[in-house]
Structure 1
Amino acid sequence: MFKVNKLLNNVKYDLRKLSTQNLSVPEITVTRRITQEDLNSFSSLCGDSNIIHSEDIPEEERYVHGAFLNSLISGIMGSKIPGPGSIVVSQKFKFPRKCRINQDIELNVKLIDNRKIMKTVYHIKQANNIVFQGEASLIRLSSLSKNQQ
């Protein structure tokens, strides 16, 4: 069975605020390492049995699922920035490079517009190369009380 808490092991958070043209921009950076066990769990959950994610090929030829990378970003947006109660209504992203297992990745999410429709930009880097990047528009559920957000 897929266990989310296993996927969050060894995650480091760096929550900070940057100033850009008199606008305080919330930003978070998370560092983690994706293992073969993570790929196996994700493959089992989503049904993607593509050989490029499996132990049937040499480790240096294996790729991390693009959907897995997107889910890590989604987890940050739903729990940290913008946070609980936020729902993605649109997303645009690309994969400029392959992401490999057993190497650190750095996930970064910035909230660039905090209006009724919030906007974020994000990327994932591996060895200082962007392997995933995109932007999302989100709304916040108005039914959540302040202490649930």
Structure 2
Amino acid sequence: MLNFNEKLSIIESFPQLQRKNVSLGRVNFQFADSVSEKKNIVYHLHPNGNGFVYAGELAGYPTDAKGMVNIREFSAEELKQIIHESIQSLSPRTVEEEAVAGDAYEETWVNRDGQTLLLVEEEDMWNVYAGLNLDGTFNSYGEAIQYLDEEGFQLLS
């Protein structure tokens, strides 16, 4: 388990987050550019190492009623991953995402290295984009998901 200072160091490595000291030595980190009313990415990081990260828009994390995940037992890599995914889930769409998806149904997928792919339903097909570049076309949602999973990507939002 990481201690408070180790967690603090990892969290402070994300320049998008702003530190806000709260009571009892706890610290919040906010994402000012959030497209949601949710601004706290890290909530009540306590000197004992306990704390929470917002994952309400993410798949694969056990969240409480407020969409928070307890990070007490997280490794450094797990902490970096969930913070990155949380920021991504609350970030405005990029110009490339807007150009590719427009009003079509879309999903954002991310891997451990922070690379993102966009899955878009277009005319009864499922296309995977890396930025503006078409990465693959699939006949079904299931085929597209299988490809993304095999490539190490997870659904972000």
State the TM-score, normalizing by the size of structure 2: 0.29
**Structure of greater Rg:** 2
* Greater strand proportion: 1
State the TM-score, normalizing by the size of structure 1: 0.30
